[in-house]
Amino acid sequence: MRIAALDDDPSQLELIQHTMNGIQHECHVYSEGKALLRDLRQQSFDLLILDWTLPDISGPAIVKWVREELASRIPILFATNRRAEADLVAGLSAGADDFMVKPISVAELEARVHALLRRAYPSHHDVELEFGPYHFFPQARTLQVNGEPVDLKHREYELALFLFQNLGRLLSREHLREAVWGRGPDEPSRSLDTHISRLRTKLSLRPSNGFLLSAVYGLGYRLETVEASSLSTFGQEPDPTESGT
């Protein structure tokens, strides 16, 4: 999972990042609220861990912005020195999902993050996943469409599974590359576009099959359920690998 942590204390950020990496999550750290807000306009994350008091903008103000401006219901955890009941009520009322008091306990942080992610993304924990005609078998790393197996390479399978697990979410290009290829800086952006194009073809991700994999200009990709009669091209970017020439 892709997590963003915001705290103006470098030692706290280091602890959070180390803990998240230790349980196999990618953790991006921020020391200023405005920097996080800037990236939230262009990036996608699976969970936010926020401090309450920051030098430029408060944690509750960030939560309020996220709930008003972002379409996805991303889970948010406050990790703060505040411990009064009124603060807990205020944080949850602003739209946060959970609240823990510093000093941070590694075991508690792991447990709260796991619970939030499991509740927000239940399909990530299922043994077998079905989405209409698409049937994933994660243990065997195979996919069937209408009962027929589809030959997918390793990265193609990982990308297909991740897209279906996040059905309806706009996923940034960086989020997709990290989820499938890891954080290595050498993976070219074109490789993602090529894999997306192959999945469209191999899986017939078309309205006639009930699903559409579309590019959103300047942001990333979204897999969503559609009906052929209601398809709209608003906000979609042509597939750069399907120019027709």
Q: Residue 56: give its domain's CATH number.
A: 3.40.50.2300
Question: Same domain, yes or no, for 47 and 66?
Answer: yes
In one-letter notation, the amino acid at residue 146 is N
pLDDT given for residue 22 in this prediction: 93
Those residues with Cβ within 8 angstroms of residue 72's Cβ, 6 or more apart along the chain or in another chain: 44, 169, 170
Tokens read off for 132: 């209409």
pLDDT given for residue 242 in this prediction: 47
* Nearest CA among 184, 172, 158 for reference residue 216: 172
**Residue 87: inside a domain:** yes
pLDDT given for residue 237 in this prediction: 46
pLDDT given for residue 124 in this prediction: 60
3-state secondary structure of 214: strand
Indicate the DSSP class of residue 24.
T
Give tens-digit pLDDT for 90-116. 888 888 999 999 999 999 999 999 989
- Dist. CA 130–CA 117, nearest whole Å: 20
Q: What are phi and psi of 173, to 5 degrees?
A: -60, -40
Full domain range(s) for residue 51: 2-120
**Residue 245: inside a domain:** no
Q: What is the pTM of this model?
A: 0.69
Give tens-digit pLDDT for 62-90. 999 999 998 778 999 999 988 888 888 88
Q: What is the CA radius of gyration of the chain?
A: 19
Question: Same domain, yes or no, for 140 and 226?
Answer: yes
pLDDT given for residue 200 in this prediction: 92
Which regions in the chain score pLDDT beneath 70? 123-127, 183-189, 227-245
* Helices (H) then strands (E): counts for the chain: 8, 13
pLDDT given for residue 60 in this prediction: 92
